[in-house]
Structure 1
Amino acid sequence: MTMQLPIEGQDFASRPRAMTRERMRWYVDAQATAVANDGKPRFGGPTIHDDDDYARAQGLPGIIADGMVSTNWMLALLVDTFGPAAATVGRLRTKYVHPVYEDDVLISRAKVMAVTPDEAGHRIALDIRCETLDGTPVTVGEAEVLLPHG
């Protein structure tokens, strides 16, 4: 994939995506299935990610999304923008700063902070975040993508 070299200050954004109860549940069940590691689907819970009563008992208004959902959406923006190498030779660090509730609509955004040439290509340093439609950040971080020469 050949792309035009981005410039410092350039912004990229994903399409808006809704956080559904079903999507939130997938992460709980995926974790339980991975832990079991027996080839059979497992169902986790109760957790703050899938059980409203349990979440309320922990002081939340209802279930919240696992932070990995927003992190995955941020990685998807990088892959959509820069190609698959963003997931294999890039890096992404995130911090969860605000809960994501059922039916929140989120947008992932990345801003180019620096473009640095090196022997392998150009390293693109980005500030990246996932936010609600009103601009409230829910996950923030930094990323680096290598765009090879050619």
Structure 2
Amino acid sequence: MSVFTGAEFHKQGIHTVRSIALKAGLKDCIAQGMMESCWASEYLTRLFGESFLSTGKHFTTYLSPVYPRDTITIEGEVVGSVSENGKVRVEVEYWLLNQDGVTTAVGHGSSLL
């Protein structure tokens, strides 16, 4: 989490300094939401393949903190498709869960096939 945050270059806070996180009412440092967006991008790239890199898009909403040593899994389902420029854009809803089954983020993404 410190490497992702760039702690050696940036202002330190709830993502990298435990005392600051505790003072903010958290039980430990938390991952940046953008880490979950990166995991969602990886999921969608594996799902759609190289097409996602050039035609894909996604949006993630963060719901619960991700703490050090949490195990995060991502699940999703195809929810629709639309015609776009002679191709099909497949739409997916996804959600990220921690080891306790708590949903930490939800989102939707799509890609042309």
Which TM-score applies when normalising by structure 2?
A: 0.90
What residue ranges of structure 1 are gaps of 5+ in the alignment?
1-23, 33-41
Q: In the TM superposition, what is the alpha-carbon distance from 1:135 to its structure 2 partner? A: 2.4
Name the structure, 1 or 2, with higher relative contact order (CA <8 Å, separation 6+).
1
Equivalent position of 1:28 in the other structure: 5
> Match of 1:8?
none
Distance 1:102 1:76, change over 3 A: same
Match of 1:114 in 2: 80
SS in 2 for 1:105: coil
- For structure 2, the 5+ residue unaligned runs are none
State the match for 1:82 in structure 2: 48
Determine if the alignment matches structure 1 residue 58 to structure 2 residue 35.
no
- After superposing on structure 2, the runs of 4+ consecutive aligned residues of structure 1 that deviate more than 6 Å are none
TM-fit CA distance, 1:83? 1.1
- Where 2:27 maps in the other structure, the secondary structure is coil
TM-score scaled by length of structure 1: 0.69
Could you say what the CA RMSD is over the residues aligned between the two structures, in angstroms? 1.6
Give secondary structure in 1 for the equivalent of 2:91.
Answer: strand
C-alpha displacement at 1:27, in angstroms? 1.8
- What is the distance in 1 between the residues matched to 2:57 and 2:106? 14
Alignment of 1:1-150 (within 5 A): 24-29=1-6, 42-147=8-113
